Chain A
């Protein structure tokens, strides 16, 4: 097992598991989850086909510790820290492998922002999700107010963020913030089995190609994304053709 800041990394076959380990609430330390260079080193592995992010103990992550946050009096330093840590959810979102957030207990603020950057969210029946920042006179700091409307629409995102509303599992499923709801003790095993079933039979090239296409829909105009997908498709057909030729 490897460690970086409050994250632990281990492999379950072709699936990587990042565990947020700062119990009981799993607050981010300072503003950090892990160093980006460590995350890159862990995930830059040709045999890695999927990833799970989970929390140690009862909770996924309660976000920033507000005492740490309000201790920060240097604006430039705060900006630098936020930019550095914004890079983590962005990196996760862009990974060419599917990433599942296995969420139990409380998932607040930066914890929810991290979960929103994952491609699939599996949560426990007793999960509580919230952006409580407005209660402290601030807004979500890791682009939660940008990612959430993309998932549930501006109207419902505004209601949740502005009111600092706490959402339970049923509401989260109905809103489309989470994809699966399970009993607490089954969340991790379900996530692992979901990923294994999804990726095991596929080659790394196919997984990466599909993820690239899916990720392109988020950042490119429709026409550019379809053009990219056509190129990716042709590349895979050509690679298969070449492999069969070499075999013969």
Chain B
């Protein structure tokens, strides 16, 4: 699992913003860190799986979504900022994310 650098942080932010802009068909400029995925972008809980797939390919990650799902039950990612934070945790810890509690 890669160590999180500023470069990775910037890349994740860029991909997350572009993903929600494209998938929810909204201007990228209208999205900010506090934008709510479900209420404001009309997104849904399964979109995070699609987003993780992008990072799985980009960083050649190997993890099971069930452990991520378990973690998300306790730490729901409702805003864009929380999605970015959760993505960085998944990139850094993979399946071991559940051990962070």
Contacts and interface: CB of A to CB of B under 8 A. Distances in A.
A25 B45 contact: yes
A166 B53 CA distance: 9
B52 to A, nearest CB: 9
A217 to B, nearest CB: 35
Interface in A160-176: 163-164, 166, 168
B15 interface: no
B44 A25 contact: yes
A74 B40 CA distance: 40
A23 B38 CA distance: 12
A163 B62 CA distance: 13
A128 interface: yes
A25 B43 CA distance: 10
Contact of A106 (B23, B49, B64): B49
A168 B46 contact: no
Nearest to A184: B23
The dominant DSSP class at the B interface is helix
Contact of A58 (B44, B57, B65): B44
Interface in A172-211: none
Given A58-B23, A135-B66, A166 B49 contact: yes
Contacts of B57: 168
A166 B61 CA distance: 13
Interface string B32-69: 00000000001111110110010001000000111000
A59 B46 contact: yes
B46 A106 contact: yes
Given A58-B23, A135-B66, A128 B44 contact: no
A24 interface: yes
Contact of A24 (B44, B50, B53, B64): B44
The dominant DSSP class at the A interface is loop
Contacts of B43: 24
Interface string A30-47: 000000000000000000
A58 B46 CA distance: 10
A62 interface: yes
Given A58-B23, A164-B66, A126 B46 contact: no
Contacts of A89: none
B46 A62 contact: yes
Interface in B1-50: 23, 42-47, 49-50
B65 A105 contact: no
A67 B34 CA distance: 30
B53 A126 contact: yes
A108 to B, nearest CB: 8
Interface of B: 23, 42-47, 49-50, 53, 57, 64-66
Q: Lowest 8 CB-CB distances: which A-B pairs, in order?
A: A24-B44, A106-B46, A135-B66, A168-B53, A126-B50, A128-B49, A25-B46, A166-B65
